[in-house]
Structure 1
């Protein structure tokens, strides 16, 4: 058994099908007519009147060359060849898509992010948020230290003012005592 291409009536590739190893050439395959109970009864009643089945496509014993996106078999050229004519069988195949369609197929498509990619993005966002919070905590720590230093400086200033006030009061008391004596 070997796989050979099936083509539609226009010669466009449909799928591969299995045939005997000795198969070569091109043979038609037929569409299966839908069978209903009325069709079966009508067929029994009218056995004499047989309709020719409709050709759905062809089984092609000529291998498809590599590199075609939508292979198309030239049925007319195959039928027009002379019996026994030796030609390159791949010459019956051509590209069934236009250059624009091939370009559209081959241009890079945006890929959906994987679960790992999504987790990585989430982890990165969390790390950035953590860095921002650490910077904020550091800034607040600096402000707290600055406030404590200012508080210590104010206490020193108050202490110095208190000492000056006490010294001034002592001088006033000494002056009052010197005036009374």
Structure 2
């Protein structure tokens, strides 16, 4: 068993669900009214109707998709690019059709004229997981929030302020004491003269 991301119809990440280790691809899940309880989620095995067409969203009540591709780390609000997935699937299908046609043509040639066997060249896989938040939303999320000091911090600040005041008073007291000693010494010297 492994975790697979579950996304809404817009591709925004909802949560991880547990699926079989062999699960891959993108599979829709539907919401149905069952026994009077709205939004009971069920998954389906296929993504096409019997006639080969993709199911109509209004017919099927697609609630979202289960994705067989892990979420790219580091995204604030992961979004699966469903359009890129559909485009990639179309490109894979076109590459397979082209390969099948080239293979059929190659096999139809006599062995001495064949040359190298055609090779299936798959299109490069695009990045499917993208950031779902705008740069402004990310900036708002990552902006440092002003921290209000808690009671301990406030008391600590007040204690430091009081200690500084006491130290200043001690310094003033020492300076005044030195002045008094100096005056007393002058008085004594005047009395002795």
Q: TM-score interval w.r.t. the shorter chain?
A: 0.5 to 0.7
Matched residue of 2:171: which SS? helix
Aligned equivalent of 1:9: 9
TM-score, normalization: structure 1?
Answer: 0.57
Aligned equivalent of 2:66: 59
Q: Distance in 2 between matches of 1:117 and 1:19?
A: 49
TM-score, normalization: structure 2?
Answer: 0.54
Write out aligned runs for 1:21-170 (5 A). Answer: 21-31=21-31, 39=36, 54-80=61-87, 81-82=89-90, 85=93, 86-87=122-123, 91-110=127-146, 121-146=157-182, 148-149=184-185, 152=188, 156=191
User: Relative to total residues, which structure has the larger strand share, 1 or 2?
Assistant: 2
Q: CA RMSD in A?
A: 3.9
Note closer, same or farther for the CA distance 1:56–1:121 as it changes in structure 2 (3 Å cut). Answer: same
Matched residue of 1:141: which SS? helix
> Which runs of 5 or more residues in structure 1 are unaligned?
41-51, 161-181
Shift of 1:22: 1.4
Matched residue of 1:82: which SS? helix
Aligned length: 143
Q: Distance in 1 between matches of 2:171 and 2:31?
A: 74
Q: Distance in 2 between matches of 1:88 and 1:114?
A: 54
Matched residue of 1:129: which SS? helix
> Which runs of 5 or more residues in structure 2 are unaligned?
38-58, 94-121
**Contact 1:62/1:90 (8 A) holds in 2:** no
1:16-68 CA-to-partner distances (Å, cap 9, x unmatched) read: 22212111122233457698xxx47xxxxxxxxxxx77433221111222332
Q: Distance in 2 between matches of 1:9 and 1:94?
A: 15
